[in-house]
C-alpha cells in the first residue's frame, strides 16, 4: 500500500463546511454511500471543509508559502504524478481537489453556479478537505486541543494538516485530501449559508381581506396570540372581571406582591339618610354615635363594650398569594376586593 503524503497548508479561511457535524448528503442532495470494500453501498458520514488560500501565483502548483509549509502547490502536483504515472494526472477532469476561485466553470450544485460567482471564492485557491472522521481541533501552535463545541466556524482563519493520496480510480482519476487536524489561527467574520431573506422576494404584494399590519381589536401581539390559543385576552391568562383595570393599565406592587393592579376606587353615590345616626342629631361627641335611649353599662365606658368576632375573609386565586393584611396596606378595601373578585363574600 502506497504511503500517504502529509500536507500542511498556509493560513487560509474556512468558507464552507462543518468541523463538528458530519454531512450525510452530497451537493445534489443524494445520500453519501460507501463506494468500495465490504461496506459498499451503505450510508456514510463525511466531515468536509472548504479552505480559501489567497492567490500569490497564476497557477496553484507554483504557490510557495513561507516557513515550514514550503511549496505546498508543488507537493500536491507531485503526488498526482506519482499516483498516476500513466499520465492520467494530465486529464482535464483530473480531481485535484483544488478550485480556482476566479474560474468561470460551473460547479455540480443544484442549480449549478460559476465558481467566480460563489461568495468568498474570488482571488483564492479553494482546497477541499474531507474525512470519514471528525478532525482534531487545536490552538495556533498545536500545543493544546480545543474542545469547546462550535469554536471553529466558517469565517475563521486556520491551518490544516492532512494527507494527500491518489484515489486509485483510472476512470475518474484524482486525489483525496484527507482532513486530520485544524489549527485555529484567528477569528473572522462569520460566514452563513443559505438564501438571503432580503433577496428572495418577500413583501410587495397586496394584503388579503382581513389582514392588518397592526393588532386587531386593540390587543397587543402577545394578547392576540393568547386569544388565538383560546385564552382570555389578559396577560397571564387571567379572566377579565367587570371593573378590573384593562390590559396596559398602571400596575402597582401591593404588599411586596408584584403583578396585582393598583386598586381603583368604586364610584359610590352617598345616601343622605345614613349621614347621621338616629337620635344622635349629628352632634359631634354625642354618646360616641350610640343611638339615644340605649343606657350605658354601669361602670363601663364604650370602649369596654363586648366586641364582635372578626369576620372570616377568604381570598381567591386572583389575589396571587397576597394576604388580606397586605392588600389592605396597599389600599384595597373590602368593597374593592369583593368587586374585583379577589375575596369571597
Q: Which residues pair with 253 in a beta bridge?
A: 258
Pairing mode of beta strands 136-138, 175-186? parallel
Q: Other C-beta atoms within 10 Å of 294: how many?
A: 9
Check residue 332 and give left, alpha or beta (phi > 0: left; psi -120 to 50: alpha).
Answer: beta
The 3-state DSSP class for residue 338 equals: helix
The pLDDT value recorded for residue 309 is 61
Rounded Cα–Cα distance for residues 343 and 345 (Å): 7
Phi, psi for 31 (deg, rounded to 5): -60, 145
Using CA atoms of 76, 77, 78, 82 in order, give the dihedral in degrees to the nearest 10.
Answer: 100
Residues of each domain in the chain carrying CATH 2.40.50.140: 5-186
Rounded Cα–Cα distance for residues 12 and 242 (Å): 68
The pLDDT value recorded for residue 129 is 98
pTM assigned to the model: 0.56
Q: Which residues of the chain have pLDDT under 70?
A: 1-2, 27-28, 194-200, 217-311
With cell 466531515, the residue in question is 47
The pLDDT value recorded for residue 219 is 55
> What digits encode the pLDDT tens for the residues 300-311?
444 454 555 666
Q: Which residues pair with 176 in a beta bridge?
A: 165
The pLDDT value recorded for residue 276 is 42
> What digits encode the pLDDT tens for the residues 311-328?
678 888 888 788 888 888
CATH number for the region 5-186 comes to 2.40.50.140
The pLDDT value recorded for residue 201 is 77
Pairing mode of beta strands 136-138, 257-261? unpaired
Rounded Cα–Cα distance for residues 101 and 335 (Å): 79
Signed CA dihedral, 302, 303, 307, 311: sign only: positive
Residue 48: name the closest of 154, 123, 121 by CA. Answer: 154
The pLDDT value recorded for residue 275 is 42
What element of type H or E holds 334?
helix 334-339
Amino acid at each position: 500500500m502506497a504511503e500517504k503524503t502529509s500536507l500542511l497548508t498556509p493560513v487560509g479561511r474556512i468558507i464552507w463546511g462543518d468541523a463538528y457535524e458530519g454531512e450525510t448528503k452530497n451537493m445534489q442532495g443524494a445520500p453519501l454511500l460507501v463506494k468500495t470494500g465490504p461496506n459498499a453501498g451503505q450510508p456514510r458520514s463525511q466531515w468536509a471543509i472548504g479552505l480559501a488560500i489567497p492567490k500569490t501565483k497564476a497557477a496553484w502548483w507554483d504557490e510557495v508559502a513561507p516557513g515550514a509549509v514550503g511549496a505546498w502547490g508543488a507537493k500536491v502536483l507531485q503526488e498526482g504524478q506519482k499516483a498516476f504515472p500513466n499520465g492520467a494526472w494530465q486529464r482535464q477532469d483530473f480531481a485535484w481537489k483544488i478550485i480556482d476561485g476566479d474560474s468561470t466553470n460551473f460547479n455540480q450544485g443544484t442549480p449549478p453556479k460559476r465558481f467566480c460567482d460563489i461568495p468568498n471564492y474570488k482571488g483564492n485557491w479553494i482546497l477541499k478537505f474531507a474525512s470519514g472522521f471528525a478532525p482534531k481541533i487545536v490552538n495556533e501552535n498545536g500545543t493544546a486541543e480545543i474542545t469547546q463545541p462550535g469554536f471553529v466556524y466558517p469565517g475563521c482563519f486556520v491551518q490544516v494538516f492532512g494527507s494527500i493520496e491518489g484515489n486509485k480510480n483510472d476512470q475518474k482519476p484524482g486525489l483525496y485530501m484527507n482532513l486530520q487536524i485544524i489549527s485555529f489561527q484567528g477569528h473572522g467574520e462569520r460566514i452563513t449559508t443559505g438564501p438571503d431573506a432580503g433577496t428572495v422576494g418577500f413583501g410587495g404584494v397586496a394584503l388579503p381581506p382581513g389582514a392588518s399590519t397592526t393588532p386587531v381589536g386593540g390587543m397587543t401581539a402577545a394578547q392576540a396570540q393568547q386569544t388565538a390559543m383560546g385564552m382570555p385576552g389578559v396577560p397571564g391568562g387571567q379572566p377579565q372581571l367587570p371593573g378590573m383595570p384593562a390590559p396596559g393599565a398602571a400596575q402597582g406592587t401591593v404588599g411586596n406582591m408584584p403583578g396585582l393592579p393598583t386598586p381603583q376606587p368604586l364610584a359610590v353615590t352617598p345616601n343622605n339618610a345614613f349621614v347621621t345616626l338616629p337620635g344622635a342629631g349629628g352632634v359631634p361627641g354625642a354618646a360616641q354615635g350610640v343611638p339615644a335611649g340605649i343606657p350605658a353599662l354601669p361602670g363601663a365606658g364604650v370602649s369596654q363594650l363586648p366586641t364582635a368576632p372578626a369576620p372570616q375573609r377568604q381570598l381567591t386565586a386572583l389575589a396571587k398569594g397576597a394576604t388580606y393584611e397586605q392588600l389592605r396596606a396597599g389600599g384595597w378595601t373590602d368593597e374593592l376586593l369583593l368587586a374585583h373578585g379577589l375575596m369571597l363574600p
